[in-house]
A and B are shown apart, each in its own frame.
Chain A
């Protein structure tokens, strides 16, 4: 069936989901971490480590879902390590994050050597396009359950941060460590738990890359998703549900470059491929103002202090 220019729209729709899902997980992880007052730049390393772990476990156990779980656990360990180091006096979370990023990627490359060649079982997909008789649309709507899980996590996390005692504690710690201490809250413990949970989500995001899309573990797998997540969280105004929209937008924009070439727009592909980054920059510039701080920013973040 000929779809012509509709192909671009289908690619953007499909890309929003396919490319956006790992961004969703990493940005949710970063969002939770930042809500507790810390920035974890190490999520790039966590993501790569998760991708490697997920692929390796899927290969050895034959179960990709076990791979996803183990990727999350590996991410959790890295997250906990980051926040544990940061809980010492005068340790800068940005610097530790960069160290953790290099450590995570390096460790994943080192341990991942034997897994570049073999083919591990892939995560299954769910067909949501059965209602349509256009094969292209059916393919675009072939999604992975992790995307649905991501939506649920975004909604639940948003609700919990807003409406539960647990969420309130995380926010207090993120807004003012002094106030939290005055209330008798264990600041370090809450931050360690938030960062570890954030790492868990980022690890799952990584396993999506190696176990579903684009599939296969390789050292060039991540194209900076972990780092972009930091920008996406700012973009999303520290709202989990905002992370969902921003990730979808980013995924769709990333799909634009290749799909335009496929319909015959052959010039300027470097520019089209850069659209997601240009878009992020533009949003940052538009939304920043010298007169006020960003809405929703946790005040304990080093960048606002």
Chain B
């Protein structure tokens, strides 16, 4: 068992338990195999934050809860696992102790180096990472990645925001300038500008995924500058949403539905629908099908959704938003269609050129579209 040179505490406990129960000296690998022979599909989920944060982790947890309801699935999870050697230990113990056949380490930072290091040790286990970093040939074969085009929902939310704003100034509280975040900011802005060309989005980067005080400060500063619709891309939008409601402006949500937190101002929101993805994976594994390395999808595939509109959203705005949604559902929507300039005036997509949603080029986005006030430089 070359993979268990260093024993973790859980492994030792597990070994002792096995010895006690079976009268054998614990051969860890043996237990793993015995368990995988059982008929239930065993799925392990790892979250970087708390399960119930009204945000990213809750969205994944809701997906886990949905598959756990199936009687042929056994799902387990561990929350608040840092993006350090800790996650490697968690993955190892989920495979060895819980007999997981497939692991879903859901945080971006789990991939490199942690999954890449652990996956080759367990060639029969699938490591499916939420994010989008898998590269053929470069990464272990039993690794895959899945992600939703939540920026499609952000585009719709942007339309609603642009339509409902009085000042034409939108605000965006973002954690870090990584491609996924920039794509959301750009789609939000492009959505708003598709119906109101002079709309602007003022971005504040807080520098990390969960900084409640700074998120509240950012929201207050944006409101002071006259923005009247705000959204965010941080781990838990709770602070931004409640602060916006207190200041009496509109907001649009992210990750989950936060309408309960801001009944007056919550216009709509971009939500994940991980239940769909996890159900599909479970089905594939049950049937013994090969799991694809890359799973991607947006509104059409049902991986992301848009929160129900608030009653204050006017009919005209609803109509415009629904029209765009229908276009996405029909598969005919291309957001990144030239000519598109960035906010420094450089042409990033030439006239006549299009980048469809699945274009890998979009996953290395490092620019902000015209109309965004902000910079990707730290």
Report A's interface with B, CB cutoff 8 A.
1-4, 7, 10-11, 14-15, 18-19, 113, 116-117, 119, 136, 139-140, 209, 213-216, 218-221, 223, 254-255, 257-259, 261-264, 266-270, 273
Contacts and interface: CB of A to CB of B under 8 A. Distances in A.
Contacts of B221: 7, 11, 255, 258-259, 261-262
A263 B220 CA distance: 12
A111 to B, nearest CB: 13
Nearest to B236: A218
Contact of B218 (A19, A140, A262, A267): A262
Interface stretch (B50-58, B113-121, B293-301): B50-58
Contacts of A3: 224-226
A220 B210 contact: yes
For the complex of A and B, list the 3 residue pairs with the smallest distance between their C-beta atoms, beginning with the closest: A266-B375, A214-B216, A220-B210
A216 B242 contact: yes
Contacts of B54: 116-117
Contacts of A259: 217, 221, 224
A2 B226 contact: yes
A119 B260 contact: yes
B218 A261 contact: yes
Interface of B is mostly: mixed
Interface in B341-377: 373-375, 377
Contact of A214 (B202, B215, B225): B215
Most buried by A among B216, B221, B246: B221
Contacts of B226: 1-3
Nearest to A213: B216
B153 interface: no
Interface string B148-171: 000000000000000000000000
B204 A258 contact: yes
Contact of A258 (B218, B238, B261): B218
B238 A218 contact: yes
Contact of A262 (B211, B222, B236, B377): B222
B378 interface: yes
B50 A218 contact: yes
A10 B217 CA distance: 11
Most chain B beta-carbon contacts within 10 A, residue among A213, A261, A262, A266: A262
B214 A220 contact: no
Interface of B: 49-50, 52-54, 80, 202-207, 210-218, 220-226, 235-236, 238-239, 242-243, 246-247, 260-261, 373-375, 377-378
22 contacts: A4-B225, A18-B216, A116-B50, A116-B52, A117-B54, A119-B242, A119-B260, A139-B247, A209-B213, A214-B213, A218-B236, A218-B238, A219-B49, A220-B212, A254-B217, A257-B217, A258-B204, A258-B218, A262-B202, A262-B221, A262-B224, A266-B375
B165 to A, nearest CB: 16
Given A11-B220, A261-B221, A266 B377 contact: yes
A223 B374 contact: no
A258 B206 contact: yes
Contacts of B211: 220, 223
A139 B220 contact: yes
B241 to A, nearest CB: 10
Contacts of A266: 203, 373-375, 377
Contact of B52 (A1, A117, A213): A117
A269 B206 CA distance: 8
**Most interface-central of A119, A257, A264 (chain B CB within 10 A):** A257
A9 B101 CA distance: 56
